[in-house]
Amino acid sequence: MALWTEKYRPITPDQIAGNKKAVRDLLEWYEEWIEKDRVEEKKSKKTAKFPLLVGPPGSGKTSAAYALANTYGLDVVEVNASDKRGQVQIQTIVGLAATEGSLYSGINPKKLILIDEVDGVSGREDRGGIATLIRIFKEAKVPIIATANDPYSQRLSSFRRYCAIIKFTRLRAATIKNVLKKISKNEGISVDDSLLLKIADNSGGDLRSAINDLQAIAMEKSELSEKDLSVLTSRDHKTDIFKALKGLFSANTVKDARMSVRDLDIRPEMLLLWINENAAKHAIEPEILAQVYDAISKADLFWARIRKRQHWTLLKYVYGHMIEGVAYPLRGQRYSYQRYQFPSWISKMSRTKEGRGATAVLAATIGRKCHTSKARAIQDYIPYIKWMFTDREMAAKLTKWFNFSDDNLSLLTEKKNIKAIKKEIEKLVPPKPVKPIKKEKKTEKTKKVEKKKTKESKKTVEKESKKVVKKVRKKLAAPSKAEEEKPEHTRLDKWLGL
């Protein structure tokens, strides 16, 4: 049997229940897109802004996109961004669809891309996914529509600049009732308007949930009564955490435990902290307490793996351990009212925020000197430095070498010891170096004396040099001893009479 949500999905924009202005804004955007002058402007000027349909689940965002596609004869390529988290998957599916032609229209792109739940993209790996979506928006040759439940999420801050936000509001119960009445009439089901209004109220403004509830209770029936509504569960989308904890700790079956937190709008790590804080109030016996906290520890282990490795497929094990794993040991126990406490871990982290910041500064100071990371400085260096600070002289030497500030010292030792350490540092300071003797300024008299001495020294040098020159010349002019000892016949100048 086909789901009624698909069977009765609006075909044209005028069939969409509620949010008429949002639907009209979407149609106006597309009309601007298909205008020739708009296309030329888009190519030559700024990147066109694509619509981001925002609003609670079941308000008609996806139906509006499909109705627009049916009206203009477009092929819809739908991608759930929360399922395709990685950069490669988004580029492969959305990127190709945004730049290639349609199967039926050839190279002319008669196509519409619908990116559903774009706010589901999160985590380190998915930042590449957001960047990929932005790049696809800039290069797209076909219209793109994105949907989100929380458009103001921090992870979408860069993405919103490329979007024209169109808001869808939660549907009123009367509007949902009218849709349910039409479906009941088409299916040949006799039902009173008051019962349909109760189904609408129970949906919390989610038309899709209301249609699913109507189909579930009307299965193989031609008439509905008040008794048939007893199987419906509350769909309050703002379930209180205290009600959820009460339902979890008092659940007799695994199904009851799951239903207690189904509509709870809270992140898994926060729910785990609430359960961890309050589970001991109900698990009194040691054996049951051990089983409960064993399940909580395993849930925390899987959540740590998700944070570190971005393996979101492990999320089902987180919920499995912290819901079924906690509820199962407590089954059959008599529930007693307890006043549930806010997670003390969060309060402690809030109180110690300033101290953790000071520790980070101290770790950075140590890291710069020791060429290590902050994490290693906190884990390996600070404990030993604290132990070394028990010796005052060593504390003074370390303080001087690291150049610790008073805030740093307050984390390493008691405040009363800081003054004593500073006094010890003064003893370590080496004596000041002797200043060089300054040259005295020369007076006129001194300059004259020096000038006179310089002249006298020059005259002396010249006189001595003249004496040396005379001696050398005289020596060169006198015949050498070897010349005098030569025999007469070898002296050719005399023999030749020259």
Model confidence pLDDT, tens digit, residues 368-410: 888 888 888 888 888 888 888 888 888 888 888 888 888 888 8
* 250 and 291 belong to one structural domain: yes
Transcribe 337-381 into DSSP letters. Answer: ---PPPPHHHHHHHHTHHHHHHHHHHHHHHHHHHT--HHHIIIII
Longest dimension (CA), the chain: 168
pLDDT at 301: 92
Domain boundary among the residues 428, 458, 474 is at 428
* Long-range pairs of 346-353 with CB within 8 A, sequence gap ≥ 24: 346/273
Question: pLDDT band at residue 300, thresholds of 50, 70 and 90?
Answer: very high
Q: In the β-sheet with 163-167, what is the strand arrangement from edge to edge?
A: 75-80, 111-116, 144-148, 50-54, 163-167
Residues 67 and 201 in one domain: no
Q: For residue 262, is it within any domain?
A: yes
**Residues 262 and 220 placed together within one structural domain of the fold:** no
Alpha-helical runs (H) found in 13-154: 20-34, 36-44, 61-72, 87-90, 96-99, 124-139
Domain boundary among 209, 231, 253: 231
- Whole-number Å distance between alpha carbons of 395 and 113: 66
* Pair of tokens at residue 50: 């694509």
| C-alpha–C-alpha distance, residues 258 and 253, integer Å | 9
Residue position matching structure tokens 């103001």: 152
- Is residue 345 included in any domain, yes or no? yes
Say which DSSP state 223 is in: B
pLDDT at 406: 84
pLDDT at residue 472, rounded to an integer: 72
Q: What's the domain count of the chain?
A: 4
Q: What is the DSSP letter of 106?
A: B
Dump pLDDT digits (tens) for 55-104.
Answer: 877 788 888 888 888 888 888 887 766 554 444 455 555 555 555 554 44
How far is it, in rounded angstroms, from Cα 323 to Cα 205? Answer: 27
Q: Is residue 156 part of a domain?
A: yes
CA 236 to chain centre: 31
Mark whether 205 and 282 lie in a shared domain: no
CA angle, residues 97, 103, 107, in degrees to nearest 5 = 75
> How confident is the model over 487-496, as a mean pLDDT?
51
Distance spanning both ends of the chain, measured CA to CA: 150
Q: Are residues 370 and 416 in the same domain?
A: yes
Whether 159 is in a domain gets the answer: yes
φ and ψ of 352, to 5 deg? -95, 10
Q: Which domain holds residue 264?
A: 241-349
Domain end marker among 349, 368, 395: 349
Better-scored residue on pLDDT, 86 or 254: 254
471 domain residue, yes or no: no
Residues 29 and 163 in one domain: yes
Domain co-membership, 316 together with 362: no
Q: Are residues 153 and 210 in the same domain?
A: no
Considering Cα of 450, then 454, then 459, then 464, what sign does the dihedral take?
A: positive
The reported pTM is 0.46
178 and 157 in one domain? no
- Please give the residue that has the higher pLDDT: either 259 or 489: 259
Q: Is residue 478 part of a domain?
A: no
Q: Which residue has the tokens 């007893």?
A: 230
Based on the fold, state whether residues 139 and 9 are members of the same structural domain: yes
The Cα-based distances of 86 to 5, 100, 133 in angstroms read: 30, 21, 11
For residue 64, tell me if it sits in a domain.
yes
Q: Average pLDDT for residues 317-345, to the nearest whole number?
A: 83
Residue 339, token pair as written in the block = 């006043």
- 129 in a structural domain: yes
- Whether residues 208 and 84 share a domain: the answer is no
The enclosing domain of 198 has a CATH number of 1.10.8
Do 279 and 188 have their domain in common?
no
Residue with the bigger pLDDT between 132 and 24: it is: 24
**DSSP label of 94:** I
User: ∠ CA 181-186-187 to the nearest 5 degrees?
Assistant: 95
